[in-house]
């Protein structure tokens, strides 16, 4: 995901990605080196995930490293999915 695309990730996508991975907020916050309250605010964002750009990027990077793909709003709305690693 490019720097520009990071601005398109929503708080709901972050919460959904975390749910798909079956991890808690504390675990994701630790992986992204941010505080739990910061993650909670990010996930509660209406629309685009709010917060310092480096914190949003850290969360996206942690989720992508764990196997999440962010799907842009391409007519069907934004979403997330788990990467298919069968070929890896």
73 within some domain:
yes
87 within some domain:
no
Q: What is the CATH number of the domain that holds 78?
A: 1.10.260.40
* Structural domain for 36, as ranges: 3-82
88 within some domain:
no
Asked whether residue 79 carries a pLDDT value surpassing 90, the answer given is: yes
List, for residues 6-61, the tens digit of each pLDDT value.
678 999 999 999 999 999 999 999 999 999 999 999 999 989 999 999 999 999 99
**Residue 45, both tokens:** 């964002």
Q: Which has the closest alpha carbon to 10: 69, 50, 64, 67? A: 50
Asked whether residue 74 carries a pLDDT value surpassing 70, the answer given is: yes
Which are the contacts of 43, defined by CB distance < 8 A and separation ≥ 6?
Answer: 11, 12, 14, 15, 18, 25, 49
Number of separate domains in the chain: 1
**pTM of the entire predicted model:** 0.88
**What pLDDT was estimated at residue 85?**
73
């Amino acid at each position: 995901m490019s720097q520009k695309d990071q601005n398109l990730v929503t708080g709901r996508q972050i919460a959904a990605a975390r749910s798909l991975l079956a991890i808690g907020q504390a675990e994701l916050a630790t992986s992204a080196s941010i505080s739990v309250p910061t993650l909670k605010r990010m996930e509660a964002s209406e629309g685009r995930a709010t917060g310092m750009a480096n914190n949003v990027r850290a969360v996206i990077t942690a989720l992508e490293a764990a196997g999440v793909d962010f799907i842009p709003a391409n007519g069907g709305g934004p979403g997330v999915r788990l990467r298919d690693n069968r070929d890896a």
